[in-house]
Each structure stands twice: as structure tokens, then as C-alpha cells.
Amino acid sequence: MVNVQSIRQDFPILQTEVYGHPLVYLDNGATTQKPRQVVEAMVNQYYHTNANVHRGVHHLSVVATDMLEQSRETVRKFIHAASVDEIVFTRGTTEAINLVASSFCQQEMQAGDEVIVSAMEHHSNIVPWQLQAERKGIIVKVIPITDEGILLVDEYEKLFTPKTKIVSVAHVSNVLGTINPVADIIRIAHDHGVPVLIDGAQSVPHMPVDVQALDADFYCFSGHKVYGPTGIGVLYGKREWLDRLPPYQGGGEMIGTVSFEHTTFNQLPYKFEAGTPNYVGATGLAAALEYVSNIGMQAIAAYEAELTQYALRQMIQIPGMKIFGPLVNPQSSIVNCQLSQQDGSEVQCSRGSVISFLVGNIHHLDMGTLLDRLGIAVRTGHHCAEPLMHRLGIEGTLRASFALYNTLEEVDALVAGIKRVASMF
Ligand code: PMP
């Protein structure tokens, strides 16, 4: 059970007032707020155990190094990786995808080889591949989606050719809330001998993720979207792949020995962590993962599903409302995606806790600005998914995205706010 009132006490920013209204923060898909436990863990490290990691024999450096490696173990456990050697700290999802695109293309792809992405990807899972298309002449192929924003798995299967070398898709769409059938996507790719990268930016904060159960080859996420700090994220990679791929960046930490004639590289995961790592960020991320683990990812998924369902049921009734993404009939039931838990039980999670919408002809920017005047923070625009906007034939949407600290009363405030703004047009 999520005790939302007690959870809210951990997030001081939720007490903020905006234009005289209590803040209703519904922009969690962009970034989440941070609990005291995360901020205090980082402050404590700066105050008491700060030193550069890996290089020192002195006490503080040893402590800081131990903390970094302990954080790596916390991440490993959280996504159920087989080994800490498979956990690479990055700046975030974007850097993780760039790392894979760059190192994988360098090693495994030739001009004319193909990568498969989907029509609902964030720019960070499109542009890194396009950069490789320019540099190496690889080809980017796109899995089409239905008008409701569901991946066409049959069409996906048809995209495979002997030149397909990697598949890279989002677990959950940051615009549509679609939960993609990534286990099937991975199985189909593996049937063709092709590895898969999963962008978990919008899944890891909202549901239990088990990279081994999924059999993902690569999986990445950002700390700041899961109640952790900015500037830290994770790339999980199966050992066999990380061993095979060349380093992404050169510098300190990632080397074995260096001479002007020849340099050897460090063991995993350090081969991919050039320079001083964001070790304080890793401490904050570990504190965040412990925070959500203590509540329980299954409980969080169920609570957010309740919020989302409550919101959809009311929003669908607003005249002129158009909701994007998989939506069946929220009056009776909503799309049910069964999420299998690590213990084998299942939780009903209709879709991701993201609702993109438009009302009548009201421009998303106008409505977003007026909602802000009521203290309601939603995102407006193309959500870094312009190709998806083109597919849907729109310029942008409003997006409300929920987190574990949101309440049913905040959903009511959103619905009342939308109605009030709509009545002004
Ligand atoms: N992928 C998805 C699905 C996202 O929602 C985001 C962030 N909006 C990213 C990637 C990029 O994450 P970051 O900016 O933290 O690297």
C-alpha cells in the first residue's frame, strides 16, 4: 500500500504555492521531485565522505570508492542484473543510448546494415542512430504503430533482413503511455540473432523491471526520472556484449596501461566510465532506488494505475477531449497490460501513468499556460518525439504524468482546471 500522505512529507517541494494555489506537479515524465532521503544522502557525502574514487589509498577515497561500488550493487539488485560488471554509470538515458549506438556501430555494423526503432521513440533513441547513419551509412528502419499508439508487432517481424544488426525501442512511451511488449520484441529479435536495447526511461520509475527475465541485451534509464539526481543514469549490458564492444570515450579510469605506442583498457564496467564518475550522483541514485524499493515497485505500479484510471475516467467526459495512446473505454475498463512480477504474480497496470491530450481547438501552449496559473504543472509540446507527432498528425499535446506522490485530489484539480480553462475559450 502506498501511504501517499506520509510519502508527501518526504518531498518538501510539494508544499510550494504557485500563483496562490497549491502546486499540483504533473510533469513527472520530464523529471520527478526528490525526497529528503536522496538530497540528504548527497549532502552527507559532500560534507563527510567526499574524495575522488578509485585513485586514492587515503581513507576518504577508499570510503567514496566503496560507496560507489555499493551504489552499483543497489542498481544491479534493482533491475536484477546478473553482475555489477554489467552496470555502467552514464549521465542518463541519452548518454547510454549514444554509448551503445556509437560503440555498437563501430564494432558490429557496416554501411547498409540496419537498426530497427519504433515510431514512438524519444529523439534520444532516434538521433544517435541517425548520427551513425551519417557517419557509417547504416539504415534506420521504423516499426509502425496504430492510431492508438500500439506497436504493430507483425510489421516489426517483417522488418528483419540479414542486414538487421540491432533493435532499439522504448519500454514505455513518454507521450502515449503505451507499455510495449518488450519481452516479445526481444524474443523475436533473438530468433533472428539480433540484440535489443530497451530505453527504460519511462518504465524503471513506474514498474518492476527484471533485465534477465526480459533477456534484454542492453537496458538504460535516467536517475532523475526515478526520484534521483540529475546527471546520473545507467546502462545495463550483458557481459558478453560489453566485453565485445569498444570503449565509448577515452580518459582516466577506463584504461589498463597507457603508453604512446599502445593502450589497454580496464575491465568491465570501468572500460565505459572514462573520467571521474558522478559518484555523488550514484549515491543519490542508490538512495532513490532504496526509497522506491522500500515502498515496493509493485505497490507503486498499482497506485499509479489507480491514479491514471481515475484521471482517464473523468477526462474522457470533458467535451472536446481527445486522449492519445491506448485507451479502450475508461467508463467500464481500460486497456489492461498485465505486468508480471518477479515473484510471478501480476499487477494490473493499464498503461503508463502518462496521459497526453488536447481539448477542442485549444492550443496546447495556451491551455498549459492557463493551467499553470492554477498551480497545475503539465508539459506541453512535442515531448521530444516529433516523428510521433507527425504520425499522429498534430503539432503537440498537453501531457499529465503521475508519480507516487500524486493524489486523487490532484487529479480532481487537473480535471477542474481543464474544464475551467476550456470554458474560457
Ligand atoms: N527516452 C524516453 C522515453 C524519455 O522519456 C526520455 C526523457 N524525456 C529520454 C529517453 C531521455 O532521458 P534523459 O534526458 O534523462 O537522458
Q: Which atom of ligand 1 is nearest to the CA of 121?
A: 3
What is the Å distance from ligand 1's center to 154 Cα? 27
- Whole-number pLDDT of residue 350: 53
Domain with CATH 3.40.640.10 in the chain: 38-294
What is the Å distance from ligand 1's center to 122 Cα? 7
- Whole-number pLDDT of residue 352: 84
Cβ partners under 8 Å of residue 175, min gap 6: 120, 149, 324, 325, 354, 356, 383, 385, 388, 397, 399
Q: Which atom of ligand 1 is nearest to the CA of 91?
A: 16
Domain with CATH 3.90.1150.10 in the chain: 4-30+296-423
Q: Which of 265, 228, 241, 270 is closest to 78 using CA atoms?
A: 228
Q: Which atom of ligand 1 is nearest to the CA of 93?
A: 16
The C-alpha atoms of residue 156 and residue 145 are separated, in whole angstroms, by 10
- Whole-number pLDDT of residue 344: 57
What is the Å distance from ligand 1's center to 356 Cα? 16
What is the Å distance from ligand 1's center to 302 Cα? 23
Output the pTM of the full model.
0.95
**What are the cell numbers at 196?**
535489443
With 0-12 / 13-18 / 19 or more C-beta atoms within 10 angstroms meaning exposed / middle / buried, residue 257 is exposed
At residue 423's C-alpha, the angle toward residues 420 and 425, to 5°, is 125
Q: Whose CA is nearest to atom 8 of ligand 1?
A: 30
Q: Whose CA is nearest to atom 12 of ligand 1?
A: 93
Phi, psi of 257 (to 5 degrees): -130, 155
**What are the cell numbers at 305?**
494505475
Is 105 a residue of the active site? no
Mutate to test the pocket of ligand 1, among 118, 122, 224 (most ligand atoms within 8 A of CB): 122
Mutate to test the pocket of ligand 1, among 89, 123, 182, 222 (most ligand atoms within 8 A of CB): 222
Q: Which atom of ligand 1 is nearest to the CA of 199?
A: 1
Please report, in tens digits, the pLDDT of each residue of the chain (425 residues total): 789 999 999 999 999 999 999 999 999 999 999 999 999 999 999 999 999 998 789 999 999 999 999 999 999 999 999 999 999 999 999 999 999 999 999 999 999 999 999 999 999 999 999 999 999 999 999 999 998 888 999 999 999 999 999 999 999 999 999 999 999 999 999 999 999 999 999 999 999 999 999 999 999 999 999 999 999 999 999 999 999 999 999 998 888 999 999 999 999 999 999 999 999 999 999 999 999 999 999 999 989 988 998 898 889 889 999 999 887 544 444 455 554 444 555 444 457 899 999 999 999 999 999 999 999 999 999 999 999 999 999 999 999 999 999 999 999 999 999 999 999 99
At residue 400's C-alpha, the angle toward residues 152 and 147, to 5°, is 25
CATH topology assigned to domain 4-30+296-423: Aspartate Aminotransferase, domain 1 (3.90.1150)
- Whole-number pLDDT of residue 348: 45
The C-alpha atoms of residue 87 and residue 72 are separated, in whole angstroms, by 7
What is the Å distance from ligand 1's center to 99 Cα? 15
Q: Which of 290, 330, 266 is closest to 71 using CA atoms?
A: 290
Mutate to test the pocket of ligand 1, among 353, 384, 386, 397 (most ligand atoms within 8 A of CB): 384
Strand partners, 380: 398
What is the Å distance from ligand 1's center to 94 Cα? 6
3-class SS string, the chain: CCCHHHHHHCCHHHHCEECCEECEECECCCCCCCCHHHHHHHHHHHHHCCCCCCCCCCHHHHHHHHHHHHHHHHHHHHHCCCCHHHEEEECCHHHHHHHHHHHHHHHHCCCCCEEEEECCCCHHHCHHHHHHHHHHCCEEEEECECCCCCECHHHHHHCCCCCEEEEEEECECCCCCCECCHHHHHHHHHHCCCCEEEECCCCCCCCCCCHHHHCCCEEEEEHHHHCCCCCCEEEEECHHHHHHCCCCCCCCCCEEEECCCCEEECCCCHHHCCCCCCHHHHHHHHHHHHHHHHHCHHHHHHHHHHHHHHHHHHHCCCCCEEEECCCCECCCECCCEEEECCCCCEEEECCCCEEEEEECCCCHHHHHHHHHHCCEECEEECCCCHHHHHHHCCCCEEEEECCCCCCHHHHHHHHHHHHHHHHCC
The C-alpha atoms of residue 266 and residue 254 are separated, in whole angstroms, by 5
**What are the cell numbers at 137?**
551509412
Q: CATH assignment of 38-294, given 3.40.50.10490, 2.30.40.10, 3.40.50.620, 3.40.640.10?
A: 3.40.640.10
Single-letter residue type at 164: T
Single-letter residue type at 139: I
Measured from CB, residues less than 6 Å from any atom of ligand 1 are 92-94, 122, 124, 170, 174, 199, 201-202, 222, 384
